[in-house]
Amino acid sequence: MASNKTKSGRDDAQANLGGVMAIRLVLKILEALATRPSVGVTELSKELDTTKARVFRHLRTLVDQRYAVQDEGSERYAAGARLIALSRVAALTPYEGLVRLARPTMNRLRDEFGHTVNLSLVYGDSVSIVETLEGNAVIGVVIRTHAGMPLHSTAAGKLLLADRLAREGKIADEPLEKLTENTIVDPESLRMELLRVQEQGWAAAPEETVLGINALSAPIRDHRNELVAMISMLSAIQFISRQPSRELINATKAAAEEISSALKL
Amino acid sequence: MASNKTKSGRDDAQANLGGVMAIRLVLKILEALATRPSVGVTELSKELDTTKARVFRHLRTLVDQRYAVQDEGSERYAAGARLIALSRVAALTPYEGLVRLARPTMNRLRDEFGHTVNLSLVYGDSVSIVETLEGNAVIGVVIRTHAGMPLHSTAAGKLLLADRLAREGKIADEPLEKLTENTIVDPESLRMELLRVQEQGWAAAPEETVLGINALSAPIRDHRNELVAMISMLSAIQFISRQPSRELINATKAAAEEISSALKL
DNA sequence: TCCATTGTATCGCTAGTCGCAACGACTGAT
DNA sequence: ATCAGTCGTTGCGACTAGCGATACAATGGA
């Protein structure tokens, strides 16, 4: 006697997976509210494959709690003050959330290769290292956080410049400071390097800031594909060679991709 | 027979207020996750005045949905990738959420007084008007959005300068451009004005940028008390006099307070 | 005018969720 | 060692909260 036309009874629709059923739905609704200007009851019920009544009850609760509001004239629903406030708090500084998000991936990278790993954030037209994990080499390389770094001679900096070049077609041609004998100081050479960086999706800077040191960096992009941060490995050039191994490159790119996709809901 | 020792039965604790009960709790839990580095099951259950089991089940659901994570070693819970991503999306640009939040208040102000109302956002050390509502005067004053405004001769700009002065003890003494005969150009006079602004919690700039025009502005601060935006009324000086009426001042301050408190969860 | 679609309200019914109480694993004090 | 007090976790039976179904009042094109 399989229930053919059960009068009531929660349908198996998505009722299985465990956990509190109401929560699974409300999270989906919150995501919808966060990503769109407004949503409708019927519209949502179709997308989430459930009934209007259910969506309505949940939305109404969200309105009670000020997590949603209803456009005047009793129409569609939109994100409420509380949801927006929650957002501002969860990402304390615009980026603090990102740091939390990146930490597990950074740990994994460090454990796998043993190099110093760091996370740089983009602030307008500058880059700042906000988190670093020391490598486990006996004699290792460290880097100070929150220090202003030159852009043209660092791996993360090149990623920013490459992004700006791709977006605006040009970069400000300030004089390029020669930090070592390997620093790229010729604007045209730098332009070529940046085009290569943009295409390959990673950057290195072998002995371009400090002799004997190399770094490898990959871009982290948000849900709008904006460049928001970079993850980098840093070590003696003895361990990260001028032309880094495919393995190292792929791991760095994968890590950046992983964090990027986590930013996309 | 009032249920004296009902075996089970949801307690009336907070079960009344209507809406989906599970949602009310899960929102509180999300807020806790967003505001603290980590939370414990017992700790939360006490604070939210419910049982451990309930909090546990809800948290477990959040973990399933990647809205929470558990610190290694099966310990306390923290915000998950999905919650952080939600935050980043809901506040598209760091401020877009704020604009949505402010709009109802701005509408109310405009309807009440009929002056042009605008919302300025703080970007580092500059101020930009991002939203404006035209007043309903027959001959009115408008202002272009996204235009860079001078700081020392505008109401919103003074609020930023006053904040920086209070925080850093000084302000950069660049030459102060004289835009009208009323522009404050003497650094010491400006300093006095800024101290007054900081103390009274509002600023005006009567005919200091354009003759015949006055503006009145109050500060919007976030949950950390950081100055993030300003709300301003703009009109001919005929309607907003050199010494604005208490009524107008209070309304502007109240509006700013309202938006500020909405930012605080 | 009619028809389609919207958000909303009502009403049983039951299964999803609750409260309770006990569990093992820790930790620190005795 | 032992004990008391945590912690997060689990099982169980009870019951109400939340569900599906269905109907309704507005709206707005056709």
Cβ atoms of residues A119 and A230 within 8 Å: yes
**DSSP count for chain B of H helices, then E strands:** 8, 7
- What gap in Å lies between CA A113 and CA A109, rounded to an integer? 6
The pLDDT score that the predictor gives to residue A173 is 75
A54 min Cα distance to partner chain B (Å): 10
More confident residue, B67 or B136: B67
User: Please, what's the largest Cα pairwise distance for chain A?
Assistant: 82
- Cβ under 8 Å to B: A residues 18-37: 18-20, 22-24, 26-27, 30-31, 33-35
Helix residue ranges per DSSP H, chain A: 21-35, 41-47, 52-64, 81-90, 96-113, 155-168, 187-200, 246-262
Is residue A10 pLDDT above 70, yes or no? no
pLDDT in tens, B18-39: 678 889 999 999 999 888 888 9
Main-chain phi, psi angles of A17, to 5 degrees:
-20, -5
The pLDDT score that the predictor gives to residue B91 is 65
The overall average pLDDT reported for chain B is: 85
The pLDDT score that the predictor gives to residue A15 is 37
Is A223 close to B79, i.e. CB distance below 8 A? no
Q: Straight-line distance from CA B59 to C1' D1, in Å? A: 37
In the chain, the amino acid numbered A143 is: I
- CA atoms A31, A34, A36, A40: torsion sign: positive
Is B90 close to A64, i.e. CB distance below 8 A? no
The pLDDT score that the predictor gives to residue A1 is 31
Strand C reaches within 7 A of the B221 CB: no
Q: Straight-line distance from CA B73 to C1' C28, in Å? A: 20
Is residue A95 pLDDT above 70, yes or no? no
Q: Which of A17, A84, A223 sits opposite B100 (nearest CB)?
A: A84
Is residue A14 pLDDT above 50, yes or no? no
Q: Straight-line distance from CA B76 to C1' C29, in Å? A: 24
Nucleotides of D under 7 A from a protein CB: 6-11, 13-23, 27
Nearest to A14 by CA among A59, A62, A48: A48
pLDDT in tens, A156-185: 999 999 999 999 888 877 788 999 999 999
Please tell me if residue B93 touches chain A, with a CB cutoff of 8 Å: no
The pLDDT score that the predictor gives to residue A74 is 62
Is residue B14 pLDDT above 80, yes or no? no
Is residue A101 pLDDT above 90, yes or no? no
- What gap in Å lies between CA A74 and CA B137, rounded to an integer? 30
Is residue A139 pLDDT above 80, yes or no? no
Nearest to A63 by CA among B59, B20, B22: B20
Please tell me if residue B122 touches chain A, with a CB cutoff of 8 Å: no
pLDDT in tens, B189-228: 999 999 999 999 999 999 999 999 999 999 999 878 889 8
More confident residue, B111 or A265: B111
- CA atoms B158, B159, B160, B163: torsion sign: positive
Provide the Cα torsion B211, B216, B221, B225; round to 10°: 90
**Is A72 in a helix, a strand, or coil?**
coil
Taking each helix axis from N to C end, the angle separating B81-90 and A81-90, rounded to the nearest 10 degrees, works out to 120
- A176 DSSP 8-state letter: P
The pLDDT score that the predictor gives to residue A253 is 97
Is A18 close to B65, i.e. CB distance below 8 A? no
- What gap in Å lies between CA B45 and CA B226, rounded to an integer? 31
Half-sphere exposure of residue B197: CA atoms within 13 angstroms, side-chain side: 28
Is A223 close to B31, i.e. CB distance below 8 A? no
Residues of chain A neighbouring B62 (CB-CB closer than 8 A): 23
What percent of chain B is modeled with pLDDT above 70? 89
Q: Straight-line distance from CA A41 to C1' C3, in Å? A: 21
What percent of chain B is modeled with pLDDT above 90? 50
Number of Cβ within 10 Å of residue B207's Cβ equals: 17
Is residue B4 pLDDT above 60, yes or no? no
Q: What is the mean pLDDT of residues B130-138?
A: 85
Is residue B115 pLDDT above 90, yes or no? yes
Q: What angle do CA B254, B258, B261 make, to 5 degrees?
A: 135
- B148 DSSP 8-state letter: B
Q: Which of B147-151, B199-203, B231-235 is least confident?
A: B147-151
pLDDT in tens, A191-233: 999 999 999 999 999 999 999 999 999 999 987 888 989 999 9
Is residue A13 pLDDT above 70, yes or no? no
- C-alpha distances (whole Å) from A264 to each of A10, A225, A229, B21, B75 are 31, 9, 14, 29, 27
Q: Which residue of A has its CA nearest to B259?
A: A81
Q: What is the mean pLDDT of residues A243-249?
A: 95
Tokens of B114: 């009929």
The residues that bridge with A126 in the sheet, in sequence order, are A123
User: Does residue B19 come out as left (phi exceeding 0), alpha (psi in the -120 to 50 range) or beta?
Assistant: left
